[in-house]
Amino acid sequence: MTTSLSNGRQADTERHRRRGLEAIAAAVDHGSPLTASAIARAASVDRTFLYRHRDLLETLHTAASRPATAPGAGPAVTNTSLQADLANARAARLAARVQQLEKHLSQHLGNQAWRESGLGSPAGIEELQRTITQLEQRAVDLTAALEERGAELEAAREANRQLTRALNQRK
């Protein structure tokens, strides 16, 4: 009796293994997720079955690390490529942050050196910048007023010419 139980159990295990391999192959063909949970669900086996059979788990991991081979699928996306993209994105974000902090530190140290040098303070520079801005605005306002006066003068000259012509034509 133990032999028939043992034979039945082996046959059941082989069916589960075959379904697991078929589920892995189908997932590769269809581009489905290659995770232990997804394959166990597709094969109608318990996830622990895959973990107990290391060769099935190794087949799954190997399939997951290979690029997709679907024709016309474009660039292959694998876990390794996604991890590399994530690492590159993190490195770029950290590099940008380091650059921002270096700029802030440089400005802070420059201001500190300026104050300690006795040449002046950044507050004096800010006051000069405000004065420059005010003077530039005043220059723009005066230029606009000058152009307006020039237009009024030209209109007055034209009116004077017309009046002179009218008087000369009467005589």
User: Domain coordinates of the chain in residue numbers?
Assistant: 15-73, 78-120, 121-171
Q: Give the pLDDT band of residue 148 (cuts 50, 70, 90).
A: very high
Look at phi and psi of residue 134 and say left if phi exceeds 0, alpha if psi is from -120 to 50, else beta.
alpha
In this prediction, residue 61 carries a pLDDT of: 86
Q: Which residue in this structure is represented by tokens 């788990």?
A: 57
pLDDT at residue 139 above 80? yes
Convert the pLDDT of each residue in 97-118 to its tens digit: 999 999 999 999 988 887 788 7
**Tell me, what's the pLDDT at 3?**
84
Give the pTM. Answer: 0.41
- Count of residues in the chain: 171
- Residue 64 confidence (pLDDT) above 70: yes
Q: How far apart are CA 84 and CA 158, in angstroms?
A: 77
Strand, coil or helix: 136: helix
